[in-house]
């Protein structure tokens, strides 16, 4: 039997990736002006929040108690200053994690050095002042128009009226237009007059593959399938398997993503009092990441020409290789660890064309490639999820660093880097410092664990000095590794903050003002 979670108490986007089911989104920032009226707002809006109860038609998320899938899925997060503005007791506030109390702006240099600290000047005006509440509205798509369903406008209008009633201010200043909220949408493809979301971001990579799976996230009927797909933790080879044979996978501990439950260390994280305020909740990292698509394409064009000349492949093929090696996946999502060469990538696609089989996309390891000859150790994907790359076996260290990703693109793809386009990165974890901040600081913006010195992640890292990316070769080949230097800044921060997604119980307690830390 899998662990049974109280689905009605948990906000829905923690267990379910709303972005994959709801191709459009709207993020509204709020500021509380009066504690009592702010609590009344929470009490009234709480009924709108979508829980993790399974939808009746769902085959993946089976459960005894089911809900109806809404046209717009809604979630609510609070900053530390939001908790303060709502009048929580000092004893409750003082025991919250230090990094959450600090907030993202105050930890910019920790996350990305001087470059991220200096980027604060380029943040959207909406993020330059204190934010208290984040409302996430994820809407279904009208396939005929490519626009959000009408219910999104209706829910936005209701939210506006409730804010006016309880003197909660909507914080405007998103993007260059100074919009009242941040809109985002999957990149759409039109097929026979019907719009469909494409799972890609503006650089052209398939995104959202290989999110972690944790105990209680799926029902008993799905457990066997989950064990095989490689999104959890590596246990060992299946009994009787030859060396390098099929691996067994298991879901990660619930406490890595939901507070109040045991984590991978078999410990329950220390939280504030009363425990109901944080139990069944999680931390949300919101980062608006502007993508310099023009710089990315210009760099690829120049770099691929050099590589094409050195390796006798076409410039287009060299560009595909470079993108794949920098990222850790080919543009269509095929992992470089599984298909390290162009020929193997083409063979992979020929084998799995038109099939639903997706295991090879996520069921792979790095322990058999310690020098990064197949997938460079410094590639984006290997940095952010090293799997067994540190030990050659199961990596207990990596199991403590996983995060849930719920990103969605915003804007229209263009070579003009002055335009508004990028990704709204949403990451969820039980510990901001141990999980998100460690990955961002140590693995993305520092190269020690990847044996790369001060070289940052080639795709999303900040650039300190002359950033470079090294493509290794066989040590005995007599050839020199190929080095690309002068990599420009591809991704820049435009705003963000740390939020907490409370349980439905906690929202009720906050709204009623009945929080007693004793």
166-197 burial code (b ≥16 CB/10 A, e <16): bebebbebbbeeeebbbbbbbbbeeeeeebeb
Domain assignment present for residue 320? The answer is yes
Rounded to the nearest angstrom, the gap between the alpha carbon of residue 65 and the centroid of all alpha carbons in its chain is 28
Q: How far is CA 368 from CA 102, 187, 321, in A?
A: 41, 36, 21
Domain assignment present for residue 368? The answer is yes
Gap between the Cα atoms of 80 and 86, Å rounded? 10
Q: Under a CB-based contact definition with an 8 Å cutoff, are residues 234 and 247 in contact?
A: yes
pLDDT of residue 178: 96
DSSP 12-47: HHHHS-HHHH--EEEEEEEEES-HHHHHHHHHHHGG
Domain assignment present for residue 137? The answer is no
Look up the pTM and report it.
0.94
Closest CA to 78 of 154, 11, 128, 155: 11
Q: Name the domain count of the chain.
A: 1
pLDDT of residue 443: 93
Gap between the Cα atoms of 387 and 393, Å rounded? 9
Gap between the Cα atoms of 69 and 71, Å rounded? 7
Structure token pair of residue 516:
């007693």
Domain assignment present for residue 236? The answer is no
pLDDT of residue 238: 53
Closest CA to 492 of 116, 27, 114, 111: 116
Domain assignment present for residue 405? The answer is yes
pLDDT of residue 342: 95
pLDDT of residue 354: 64
DSSP state of 434: I
Domain assignment present for residue 210? The answer is no
Gap between the Cα atoms of 385 and 140, Å rounded? 31
Count, residues in the chain: 518
Residue-level pLDDT, tens digit, the chain, 518 residues: 567 899 999 999 999 887 778 999 999 999 999 999 999 999 999 999 999 998 865 544 445 667 889 999 999 999 999 999 999 999 999 999 999 999 999 999 999 888 888 889 999 999 999 999 999 999 999 988 989 999 999 999 999 999 999 999 999 999 999 999 999 999 988 777 778 888 899 999 988 888 888 998 876 656 555 554 567 777 655 554 444 455 667 889 999 999 999 999 999 998 999 999 999 999 999 999 999 999 999 999 999 999 999 888 999 999 999 999 999 999 999 999 999 999 999 999 888 876 656 557 788 889 889 899 999 999 999 999 998 887 655 578 889 999 999 889 999 999 999 999 999 999 999 999 999 999 999 999 988 887 787 888 999 998 876 788 999 988 888 888 899 888 999 999 999 999 999 999 999 999 999 888 88
Radius of gyration of the chain (CA): 23
pLDDT of residue 357: 60
The parent domain of residue 390 ranges over: 292-412+438-493
Domain assignment present for residue 274? The answer is no
Domain assignment present for residue 244? The answer is no
| Angle, in degrees to the nearest 10, between helices 504-512 and 35-45 | 140
Gap between the Cα atoms of 32 and 169, Å rounded? 6
Q: How far is CA 175 from CA 160, 290, 341, 495, in A?
A: 20, 10, 40, 10
Q: Under a CB-based contact definition with an 8 Å cutoff, are residues 331 and 341 in contact?
A: no
């Amino acid at each position: 039997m899998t662990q049974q979670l109280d689905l009605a108490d948990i906000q829905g986007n923690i267990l379910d990736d709303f972005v994959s089911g709801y191709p459009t989104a709207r993020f509204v920032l709020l500021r509380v002006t009066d504690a009592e009226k702010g609590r009344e707002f929470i009490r009234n809006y709480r009924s709108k929040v979508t829980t993790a109860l399974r939808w009746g038609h769902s085959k993946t998320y089976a459960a005894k108690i089911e809900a109806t899938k809404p046209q717009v899925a809604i979630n609510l997060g609070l900053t530390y200053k939001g908790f303060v503005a709502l009048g929580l007791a000092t004893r409750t506030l003082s025991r919250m994690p230090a990094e959450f109390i600090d907030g993202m702006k105050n930890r910019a240099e920790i996350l990305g050095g001087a470059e991220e600290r200096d980027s604060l000047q380029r943040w959207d005006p909406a993020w330059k002042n204190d934010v208290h509440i984040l409302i996430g509205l994820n809407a279904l798509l009208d396939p005929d128009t490519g626009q959000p369903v009408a219910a999104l406008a209706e829910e936005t209008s209701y939210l506006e009226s409730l804010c006016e009633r309880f003197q909660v201010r909507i914080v405007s200043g998103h993007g260059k237009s100074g919009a009242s909220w941040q809109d985002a949408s999957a990149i759409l493809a039109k097929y026979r007059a019907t719009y469909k979301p494409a799972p890609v971001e503006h650089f052209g990579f398939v995104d959202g593959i290989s999110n972690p799976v944790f105990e209680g996230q799926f029902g008993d009927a799905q457990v066997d399938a989950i064990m095989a797909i490689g999104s959890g933790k590596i246990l060992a080879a299946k009994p009787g398997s030859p060396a390098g044979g099929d691996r067994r996978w298991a879901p990660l501990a619930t406490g890595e993503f939901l507070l109040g439950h045991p984590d991978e260390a078999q410990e329950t994280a220390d939280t504030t009092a009363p425990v109901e305020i944080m139990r069944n909740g999680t931390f949300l990292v919101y980062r608006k990441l502007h993508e310099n698509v023009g710089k990315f394409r210009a760099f690829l064009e120049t770099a691929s020409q050099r590589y094409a000349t050195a390796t006798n492949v076409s410039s287009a093929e060299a560009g595909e290789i470079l993108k794949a090696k920098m990222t850790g996946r080919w543009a269509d999502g095929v992992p470089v660890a599984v298909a390290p060469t162009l020929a193997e990538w083409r063979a992979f696609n020929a084998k799995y064309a038109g099939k639903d089989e997706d295991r090879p996309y996520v069921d792979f390891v790095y322990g058999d490639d310690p020098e990064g000859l197949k997938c460079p150790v410094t590639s984006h994907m290997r940095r952010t999820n090293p799997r067994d790359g540190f030990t050659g076996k199961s990596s207990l260290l990596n199991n403590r660093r996983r995060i849930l990703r719920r990103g969605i693109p915003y804007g229209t793809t263009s070579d003009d880097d002055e335009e508004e386009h990028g990704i709204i990165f949403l990451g969820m974890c039980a510990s901001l410092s141990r999980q998100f901040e460690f990955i961002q600081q140590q693995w993305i913006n520092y190269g020690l664990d990847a044996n790369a010195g001060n070289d940052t992640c080639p795709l999303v890292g900040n650039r300190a000095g002359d950033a470079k990316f090294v493509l290794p070769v066989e040590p005995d080949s007599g050839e020199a590794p190929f080095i690309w230097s002068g990599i420009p800044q591809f991704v820049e921060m435009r705003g963000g903050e740390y939020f907490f997604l409370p349980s439905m119980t906690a929202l009720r307690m906050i709204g009623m003002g009945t929080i007693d830390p004793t």
